[in-house]
Amino acid sequence: MNSESQNIEWKQSWNDDYLKWICGFANAQGGRIFIGKDDAGNVTGLPKAKKLLEDLPNKIRDQLGLMPHINLLEEDGKAYLEIIVEPSTVPISLRGSYYWRSGSVKQELKGHALTDFLLKKMGMTWDQVIQERATLDDIDDATIALFKKEAVTAGRLPDISGLSNQELLKKLHLLTDKGLTNAALVLFGKDPGEFYPNLFVKIGRFGTQHGGYAFPGGLRGQPVSVVA
């Protein structure tokens, strides 16, 4: 091991602040922290290594809800610890804050980055989230009528002309028993900005062939990215 990386961290001694590193590893791809090594990866030794080996599992469990593997190792008569952190399938927080390991840097997740992280951990994306304040009154009839017309022209969907707004939205998985999704408001909303003032949509089309789906305003394109 020549350097610290996405999955490796070296520390000469233990500090409770390093719980943030463990949290970051668990939220990312996992990793290992060596206690008793300098920044070059050389073993410097760890006083009271056995005592730390006994204390750390309880500290990590109580603070993070994790039970990493901790090994007591020795090199040239010098003891050091290896903490092996597996990637977690659920979000891990430390005193209400969420951390992420990116490259060789630990960073706290906030704002949009935190929202995106939590949704992905739950197997969801922003567009799938239900907007509880929205109702069918927030859906624009003219935009749906245009979508139906363009869908027939493109030939990408079966005949949907006879479907009501509610039936169409359900068919497109934009309306569930819990309500309208964010995607429904972006695509068919009268005023998406009422719910997300900073929202904007980017649409790109590649090649010269017409295709893709119809979007509000008659735009066609793929792929689509939505930022809120």
Residue 50: its pLDDT value, please? 93
Strand order in the sheet with 78-85: 8-11, 31-35, 78-85, 69-75
Residue 77: its pLDDT value, please? 92
Enumerate the CATH 3.30.950.30 domain ranges in the chain, comma separated. 8-110
Mean pLDDT for the chain overall: 83
Q: Is 97 helix (H, G, I), strand (E, B) or coil?
A: strand
222 φ/ψ angles, rounded to the nearest 5 degrees: -160, 145
Residue 223: its pLDDT value, please? 42
Angle between helices 19-27 and 49-64 (to 10 degrees): 60
Residue 217: its pLDDT value, please? 39
- Cα angle 95, 52, 31; round to 5: 60
Give the chain's radius of gyration (CA, Å): 26
Structure tokens at 6: 């996405």
Which segments in the chain show pLDDT lower than 50? 1, 212-225
| Full-model pTM | 0.58
Structural class in CATH, domain 8-110: alpha beta
Structure tokens at 187: 């695509």
Chain segment 112-125, per-residue pLDDT in tens:
888 888 878 777 77
Residue 220: its pLDDT value, please? 39
Residue 4: its pLDDT value, please? 63
